[in-house]
Structure 1
């Protein structure tokens, strides 16, 4: 073969092998935004010529196609589908979507949604179900139940995936990257009080179940819950509400800059909220809460976005607390015949379920937050996020749930107090690489959190708040450093995600210190068979930290007990208007934490949980939607004999569901239920926490400039217990303590009216 012939052969071979690359060399890039706020839309579905992509949090997408001219189709639930003619891949596309009707037919099961398999559920539920409280927001999460047992001012008790998660021990909660959970809190590890969040400011929320997410650390055992506030308003609003039990609410969100500033990438708004209620109890709750929130965002050039937000919140209340079952039967009260509150009364007068044993209980709390975030879209598909945050927090609570069981002279009144400063930093560097039709997303994250408490005190006091003795006292210093790496490969129908996280915690109490580190690997695999069926497997390790007082006190508890879990799940659209998510799951904990009435932490032992989660969303008509969530769990203590291995209060069977409707004439609303099956009250199931079934109704008439609304909690006026727990209690007239279930009654029929004005 001569040189000329060899050259021709080599040129033909090169052309043959580079032909696929030449056919796929047209790269289309663009951004999808909201047409009113001009804010990016994440998870919008973009497709053309049998190729597809999903927008990232910046609203950006990229498609690699063989043609230089084509029609792009963009869809996202709650927006009108749009088609765009593209004549050249050199165009930098900015595509604005207009709000439209919700249509489940627009939901596409895509391999591009990473490991956020619950995005469709959260987006649909937030769009359909009206919310006007942080409690409403939490109840949107399938399988998550909450309860109050010390008045409305305390953080809710959380139940999810077979966990009585106390006030947040096993659920990582955050808002805009700001941690809500409080480490080494005087009322319980992981205490997550979300009442500072004004619901009208929430743009979206995402959640994940299990310990499978590299960017989520402490308390991510049962899962995580994160809320994102709006960067911009589509309209301003003032809302007035009034209802039974002297209940009032005034709320508002006001745009400060207007439409021209939005077009230039600048937004600012403020929001405020005031709540008051006396509640259904005989002893007026005098619950007051004030919230204020402000946010400013500015586009700095094309590639940088600055976000600054601040909020403050204060609340006070007089709780009725928990009541032993025998008290109602005996007719004990803390209200005399003239309706006057008495501190602690013997069984003498008649009451109903809404009476009070100890009217000396009360609480106060404040929280002030500040967040500064700079997000940068760098060259060559790099992105960088830097966030600083600060919180100042106070908490005071007088509580008595055992009455005279431990001190039959002074009573068991206890006082909890702390002041806290919280400082933190979150940083994340990401690189998106395109390898033909495959995409590799590489992420490196680092973070630091510093908690400083002042005047942390848990003490015994008299019914007149006179100090008796300290159960625990002292300032706490706790630092948490973390770093993680995460790799996600999208190729064809497959998605592979693997990562690892390291957390290093430093505890300081009474000038004694202890350090501990934990490494948590994660892996997620996803296979999308087609636009109707997707399978996923998640596995990983997480942890929840122990209280610094217990760690330093050398109480024999593990410092960072691990959680190991796995999910085998399915996303399925068997018909165009039906979406189903289902999962089989397993979770093992090296140690549970049990918080007792005297402020100590007892080792709960190793535990195992397994269960089934099922969520379905079905659009019955253009205006009518149905939802159903069923959650089964088998929580057990490891190493104990059958019949002695139950986990008190751990939910075993819960379900929520309902019908929501939206008519074109502005009438909208829905009816919903929540069901909690009875469950063990103690370790051998000789005591029972009763189940309940409660129905709620919401009706609205919405027009361009105003909205009228009616909401009814407990529509059927069901007699139910919102919270129950085993307590050893003794009343003043009793000679010995009694081991029995105590309860807080659930809200009876409760109606509220609302009028809102938009401008």
Structure 2
């Protein structure tokens, strides 16, 4: 009988003193706050809020102290009196000591939040530079998607990196210019709320092209205030930006934004670059915590380009560094997006997130990379053109379970993306006016259906994350140059993932990530060449740690390896394929974030990369344009007597431009700076680029070309010169 009473008392004690705490975290105006970190100071258990600001925390007793923190808000410590707790946080100056590094499988999420908070971006190019180790280069007058480098990859325009905005894919598959083409210029950078990124193929919700990594941008649901900005400077550069709230209360928000930019650029032949961006977004919060978001985006741009020029033409004095061999290069492009998202919170442990999008995309580009190599009379100018409709939808069901041994999380998702490309073309042209020969002309239909299961087993300090993804692709090509011959084929691939995270404390996390990813090949290659390498696989592993050895210091490091089954690359400029075979890459990533005082921040990222082609003999197995070393870093000043600003540097080491390393693409070290001063409702700013006016080549390629007076072709570096010293001034009015 005594034993019975002891057991009964124990059960009563458990129910009375160890219960589940739930509630909502919001800010002024009852706006919900996502990703708030809550820690029980007694049990060391922690929880996070979801997008509705809602949280659940186990093993909580009356009298426990709960610490609530979020970057950019004053921390709160409260004592548990009841088991429903609603807290409002107040905005405050950014403090690095509030960052928690043991967030989840994406160990770089805290780094992204720090960088975005301490050094706001001024352009869509700078958005991509927020990813440690990611370099970009422009070589077509500012309107074309940038060339990307990450983890020893020349990613071209997006072949091995998955980029999205509000869940909508940016990459264009089977694109007229290159596979995975990712033009981010439709995004207004001032509207970015959050950047989510990671390196490697370790996330089940990221599919095609997510081999070297992924970047996901999330736009703001509401604006803090209205603003108008005017900017102007060197090279006849002008920019106007307007951000206007239409509705902004606890239940709903709506805003519109517009941006217009023009510049002549530093080249002798004016770029005549023009870009218009428009966006509107509406968000509705319901009483049951459901959330509806609807956004509309549109952009169009046009430009002229001096293109890539051969080094010998500059050395011989035929042209200057900012001259052109073919001044008729350039293009125009546009994209319109509709995006609908609905987040349904079924109960305290279950939610369903659904989205659907539509994009209309048009692209036209004139280039000349080889000058007079193939046509000594008319030159080698080419036109690449397409019109595209993209449809997509996705639903993700999330469920959480608990037991005495562990907490369990599950996300099951399924979706579909369909690309319908009309009149995709590669043609030999003269002066943009005359089509001399159509090399390729047809219609592409590409459908990707997918499903994934992601699970998390939280055993306290150890989190185990097994996951799997299934993708099916259907490719169709109608060849207008071959009697409208149509062919279709399909392929499926399975991508397992397995990640381990050990959280020694909220300030120290170790991780081991392993996974398989893939990139698809161009539909025209799949159909015409009947290749079996439709979805070549990538296998990767990361071993590393995130650590806060001091309250205002964050360190992160990783050893990594990546093997690609086949870099079977479609060269859109020539309508041919370049099978480069199997490759392996390995390297070290290291990052640092340090807050020197309340207003001064230091950041730095270094990467070492070693990559080789496995099917080539020693000495001829270099991977062209794969950077062996990169560095980015800077100092940021935030809210010092109404001043803010930053100085930022980036270094890209010299790299082999061809397989035997006989041609070298020269590295560069460039420094930019900006400063802002706020007076009442006005902010005045100065933006400078290349402050030391260094001579540098932004993009470089080993190219065989021939000038008009040359009897034989020459293979050497062709390059686009980097921007010389540039300065712009701006003024903003907030109201």
Per the normalisation by structure 1, the TM-score is 0.93
Contact 1:39/1:231, CA 8 A, preserved across alignment: no
Match of 1:616 in 2: 592
Match of 1:207 in 2: 197
* Among candidates 72, 80, 98, match of residue 106 of structure 1: 98
1:509-658 alignment, distance < 5 Å? 509-510=477-478, 511-554=486-529, 556=531, 558-596=533-571, 597-658=573-634
1:242-321 alignment, distance < 5 Å? 242-258=232-248, 262-263=249-250, 265-321=251-307
Match of 2:378 in 1: 410
Contact 1:487/1:498, CA 8 A, preserved across alignment: yes
* Among candidates 698, 704, 708, match of residue 732 of structure 1: 708
Contact 1:37/1:233, CA 8 A, preserved across alignment: no
Contact 1:186/1:417, CA 8 A, preserved across alignment: yes
1:711-722 alignment, distance < 5 Å? 711-722=687-698
1:21-100 alignment, distance < 5 Å? 21-22=14-15, 25-35=18-28, 38-50=31-43, 51-89=45-83, 91=84, 93-100=85-92
Match of 2:131 in 1: 141
**Residue 362 of structure 1: CA displacement?**
1.8
Distance in structure 1 (CA, Å) of the matches to 2:538 and 2:17: 45
**Residue 641 of structure 1: CA displacement?**
1.7
Q: Which runs of 5+ in 1 are unaligned?
A: 334-351
Question: How has the CA–CA distance of structure 1 residues 512 and 718 changed in structure 2, closer, same or farther, with 3 Å as cutoff?
Answer: same
- Matched positions, count: 726
* Among candidates 398, 401, 404, match of residue 366 of structure 2: 398
Contact 2:233/2:727, CA 8 A, preserved across alignment: yes
Distance in structure 2 (CA, Å) of the matches to 1:536 and 1:751: 43
| Greater share of strand | 2
Q: Secondary structure in 1 aligned to 2:73?
A: coil
Distance in structure 2 (CA, Å) of the matches to 1:24 and 1:406: 82
**Residue 209 of structure 1: CA displacement?**
0.2
1:421 and 2:398 are equivalent in the alignment: no
Q: Per-residue displacement from partner, 1:64-103 (whole Å, max 9, x unpaired)?
A: 23522444321112211123344211x3x33222221221
Distance in structure 2 (CA, Å) of the matches to 1:380 and 1:60: 8
Q: Secondary structure in 2 aligned to 1:318?
A: strand
Contact 2:30/2:88, CA 8 A, preserved across alignment: no
Contact 1:557/1:603, CA 8 A, preserved across alignment: no
Question: How has the CA–CA distance of structure 1 residues 62 and 722 changed in structure 2, closer, same or farther, with 3 Å as cutoff?
Answer: same
1:468-479 alignment, distance < 5 Å? 468-479=436-447
1:327 and 2:292 are equivalent in the alignment: no
Contact 1:36/1:234, CA 8 A, preserved across alignment: no
Match of 1:344 in 2: none
Distance in structure 2 (CA, Å) of the matches to 1:20 and 1:382: 29
Distance in structure 2 (CA, Å) of the matches to 1:612 and 1:288: 40
1:673 and 2:641 are equivalent in the alignment: no
Distance in structure 1 (CA, Å) of the matches to 2:57 and 2:361: 47
Distance in structure 1 (CA, Å) of the matches to 2:60 and 2:129: 46
Contact 1:669/1:699, CA 8 A, preserved across alignment: yes
Distance in structure 1 (CA, Å) of the matches to 2:158 and 2:419: 17
Q: Secondary structure in 1 aligned to 2:539?
A: strand
Q: Per-residue displacement from partner, 1:265-322 (whole Å, max 9, x unpaired)?
A: 1000001100100000000000000000000011133231111000000000001100
Contact 1:525/1:537, CA 8 A, preserved across alignment: yes
Moved more, 28-37 or 491-500: 28-37
Match of 2:164 in 1: 174
Q: Per-residue displacement from partner, 1:585-619 (whole Å, max 9, x unpaired)?
A: 00000011334331222111100000000010011
**Residue 639 of structure 1: CA displacement?**
2.4
Contact 2:561/2:586, CA 8 A, preserved across alignment: yes
Match of 2:483 in 1: none
Moved more, 387-396 or 614-623: 614-623
Contact 2:21/2:57, CA 8 A, preserved across alignment: yes
**Residue 530 of structure 1: CA displacement?**
2.0
Distance in structure 1 (CA, Å) of the matches to 2:6 and 2:42: 28
* Among candidates 202, 213, 221, match of residue 231 of structure 1: 221
Distance in structure 2 (CA, Å) of the matches to 1:219 and 1:464: 33
Distance in structure 1 (CA, Å) of the matches to 2:389 and 2:429: 26
Match of 2:411 in 1: 443
Question: How has the CA–CA distance of structure 1 residues 637 and 19 changed in structure 2, closer, same or farther, with 3 Å as cutoff?
Answer: farther
